Amino acid sequence: MSKTIDLSGKRALVTGGASGIGETTAKLLVELGARVVIADINAGALAGAANRIQAEGVTAGDVVSAADVERMVADTVGVLGGIDLVFNSAGVGDDLVPVHEQEPERWQRVVDVNLKGTYLVCREAGKHMVAQKSGAIVNVSSIVGLGAFPGRSAYGVAKAGVVHLTSTLACEWGHLGIRVNAIAPAYTRTPLVQDLLDRKIFDPGLIERRTPLARLAQSTEMASAVAFLLSDWASYVTGVTLPVDGGWNAYGAAGDVMKVRHG
């Protein structure tokens, strides 16, 4: 085994690669030796991101569209000659309203981007991995997929679905040498979350008090977990959803107990 995580020559597709956790992870994969294509619905942001992270190619499209996903995977194979690794980071947040006030169409779109999009990319890239009998995929769930958050039914259902999709694919493809895992991030300082913090939709102090490590995450801390799961260092790890959450899921006490802990 290599002394460090080594992705030399691995051909990787990163969805949602034009921003946040996707961009930061794509950058780390390049630094670890991988050849990377980034995909995103935000076509205008792709070129700049590719330039910043030294990606070999870009492909624009909507992960909810089977035709777009087919083309994005084909573009990736066209640029790189194949596909060994996938990081499915494309995702959107939801409206923070209770179920009885939410528009069904909006609910469906949030579920579709986060769950159907992940399914379609796994399915299309998986065809290549099944044919070559190797590959590794990391999907993105969330702490919201592991425990219920009021006002986040669409996002929570989708991210819980990602947990199950991940374990199902691991069981379907394990005998073919293909590993499928997920990360479940807690609040991570990406442009998306920073905007919510700036607009005071989240209270960072409350999040810090609820988190045993007492701070929000940096996207580099998601990227390193993803790189591990995509690498041979995780060669016997499949079907898991790894919380990368500063201890969020480990913590079970009521808010008042946190106040005692913090004096």
Question: Would you name the residues annotated as active-site residues?
Answer: 155
Specify the amino acid at residue 94: D
Alpha-carbon distance 110 to 205, whole Å? Answer: 27
Sites for ligand NAD among residues 175-194 (CB under 6 A)? 185, 187-188, 190-193
Alpha-carbon distance 21 to 174, whole Å? Answer: 26
- Write the CB contacts of 166 (distance below 8 Å, at least 6 apart in sequence): 139, 141, 180, 181, 182, 239, 240, 241
In angstroms, what is the minimal distance from the CB of 125 to ligand NAD? 14
In angstroms, what is the minimal distance from the CB of 177 to ligand NAD? 26
Q: Does 246 bind ligand NAD (CB under 6 A)?
A: no
Nearer to ligand NAD, 22 or 126 (CB): 22
Nearer to ligand NAD, 147 or 191 (CB): 191
In angstroms, what is the minimal distance from the CB of 240 to ligand NAD? 16
- Write the CB contacts of 246 (distance below 8 Å, at least 6 apart in sequence): 186, 211, 212, 213, 214, 215, 216, 217
- Residue count, binding to ligand NAD (CB under 6 A): 28
Q: Does 40 bind ligand NAD (CB under 6 A)?
A: yes
Contact string 110-129 vs ligand NAD (x = CB under 6 A): ---x---x------------
Nearer to ligand NAD, 174 or 191 (CB): 191
215 strand-pairing partners: none
Q: Which of 66, 77, 79, 92 binds ligand NAD (CB under 6 A)?
A: 92
Q: Which of 10, 13, 14, 20 binds ligand NAD (CB under 6 A)?
A: 20
Nearer to ligand NAD, 70 or 232 (CB): 70
Q: Does 108 bind ligand NAD (CB under 6 A)?
A: no
Binding piece for ligand NAD, criterion CB under 6 A, among 6-14, 17-25, 128-136, 202-210: 17-25
State how far the alpha carbon of 117 is from the alpha carbons of 14, 114, 197, 204, 220, in Å: 13, 6, 27, 30, 23
Burial-class residue 254 by CB neighbours within 10 Å (0-12, 13-18, 19+). exposed
Burial-class residue 95 by CB neighbours within 10 Å (0-12, 13-18, 19+). middle
In angstroms, what is the minimal distance from the CB of 3 to ligand NAD? 30
Beta carbons of 241 and 181 less than 8 angstroms apart: yes
Binding site for ligand NAD (CB under 6 A): 15-16, 18-22, 40-42, 62-64, 89-92, 113, 117, 140, 142, 185, 187-188, 190-193
